[in-house]
Amino acid sequence: MNNEKSFISKLKSYLIFAGPATFAFLVVMIVPCIYGLYLTFTNWDGISATHAFVGFANYVTAFKDKDFITSFVFTVKYAFFAVILTNVIAFLLAYVVTSGIKGQNFFRAGFFTPNLIGGVLLGLIWQFLFNDLIVYIGTNFKIPILSQSWLSDPTKAFWALVIIAVWQGIGYQMIIYVAGFMNVPKDVLEAASIDGASGFQKMKSVILPLMIPSFTVTGFLTIKGAFMAYDTNLALTAGGPYNSTEMISMHIYNKAFLSQQYGTGQAEAFVLFAIVSILTFTQVYISKKLEVEA
């Protein structure tokens, strides 16, 4: 009887304090996700009131879609460079702004500022830079690599997307690395110095192993963000020139809403979700295994 009263009391407390949030999560996340999974097995076009069950036909179509494969490969390439460059530069900046240099708080704020700019606005700003300002500088100062808009060339447009992703992302990841650096015990570093460890040895054998939790978080965020990138891609290149810079999220959106193949687009979205989930969970699992305690 006491156990039953205790359970009812806990249930009432849960419903009062966490019930609204749980209900909102179910309505906004879980139910749409389940319904979206159901739609992957239908031929719904996103408009009509009726649809028919087609089984796994949409998944077969997705894997046969050459544009889907091309955009996925392009996104993998983009994610590879964006994730590595963002984390390396963010780590170096965090090391600099925690080293005691004069005005380090000002630099922290300055490096973080690009992260506050929305993806669409960011794309429009850099579109002006690549199409006008940089071309003007390249033309007047006779710099061949800058004399033509980067967004008109597939290879340069790819690197333009990477540059913007890194420029926007390093500030947020830097803050996480700053927290990691500040959590490294000072007495451990002092003990390493007393034992005669050089700066490189302390970085390799002390700081980096203790920074693994920060690498876990930043790796997860940057991998997820790179594969889900859409707004900057839309504002900067809109997939051009000739769909050469169309990333996977943009392809899925176009397939579902512009081509009115919602079932196929939803199937491609779930394939992307599965791939990103496997990548991120693998990365987190490996990172957790490498964590050490001071």
Contact 245, 158 (CB under 8 A): yes
pTM of the model: 0.88
pLDDT at 1: 54
The CA distance from 124 to 233, in Å, is 10
| Nearest Cα to Cα of residue 82 among 214, 228, 246, 271 | 228
Q: Where are the alpha helices (DSSP H) in 40-118?
A: 57-64, 66-97, 104-112
pLDDT at 3: 67
Low pLDDT (below 50) residues in the chain: none
Q: What is the pLDDT of residues 228-278, one digit of tens each?
A: 999 889 988 888 888 899 999 999 999 999 888 999 999 999 999 999 999
**Burial level of 280, CB count in 10 A (0-12/13-18/19+)?**
middle
Identify the architecture of domain 40-290 in CATH.
Answer: Orthogonal Bundle (1.10)
Angle at 255 between CA 252 and CA 259, to 5 degrees: 160
Contact 153, 241 (CB under 8 A): yes
pLDDT at 11: 83
